[in-house]
Structure 1
Amino acid sequence: MERPLLVYTTFPDAPTALAIGEALVRARLAACVNVIPGMLSVYAWKGAVEHGQEVVAIVKSREGLAEALTTALKQRHPYETPVILRLPVSGADPDTAAWIQAETASV
């Protein structure tokens, strides 16, 4: 069975994150997207320190879909340079891994 993959990304607001998350799940690139609102960010951007409110999204997928998932996120993402961090999973409950595999199997 293929190893699960978590992808961390951020969005400007919950409706955007939910819409893109739904598109990824419908495309079977993700089994689930957790949207966590209320994040405050401090970040460097084009030579300045910025502050902003964002929404975190954690995408549950599998390693074999990493490139396709990244491409789909970049195509849909409103940010000029979206944060897309692939977090490999070193261990997972077998039932969770099987669920992720099953929900993304047709891709």
Structure 2
Amino acid sequence: MTGIVIAQTTIDDENQAKTLARGAVEGRLAACAHIDGPFSTVYRWQGGIETAREWRISYKTTSDRLAELGAWVTEQHPYDVPEWITLPVTGGSEAYLSWVAEETTEPEVGQDQEGAPAAS
């Protein structure tokens, strides 16, 4: 299997990082999201060298959900040009990779978020 992708962005506020992580998982755009940080980042922006403290969010998703996740993160992100990079997963535990695929599949109409028939 693969078709599994790790997508990353950074943000300068821990609470916003948690919001971006939770929103993507709640929307089934990602199976999970890891937040690393804080760490220091140095970058060139508008002709100057900047230094900031940031948190990195690493989303585990599928290639099928990647474009929608990227659009959602870009829409929710406060940066003018948010980092958005993707890394293909070339291997791993079959059980884990299957779990990522299952968790990013939208429930069928008439089923709840856990895949069980919706209560009437």
The TM-score bracket by the shorter chain reads over 0.9
Q: Matches of residues 26-37 of structure 1 in structure 2 within 5 Å?
A: 26-37=26-37
Give the superposition deviation at 1:2.
5.1
Partner of 2:70, secondary structure, is helix
| Counterpart residue number, 1:25 | 25
Q: State the SS of the aligned residue for 2:79.
A: coil
Structure 2: gaps spanning 5 or more residues: 108-120
Which ranges in structure 1 are unaligned for 5 or more consecutive residues? none
Give the greater-gyration-radius structure (CA). Answer: 2
Q: Where is the strand percentage greater, Structure 1 or Structure 2?
A: 1
Task: Tell me what 1:16 maps to.
Answer: 16
- Once the two structures are TM-superposed, the CA of residue 49 in structure 1 deviates from its matched residue by 0.7
Following TM superposition, the consecutive aligned residue runs of length 4 or more in structure 1 with deviations greater than 3 angstroms are none
Distance 2:14 2:105 in 1: 27
2-structure distance, mates of 1:43, 1:99? 36
Name the structure 1 match of 2:61. Answer: 61
Q: TM-score, normalised by structure 2?
A: 0.85
How many corresponding residue pairs? 107
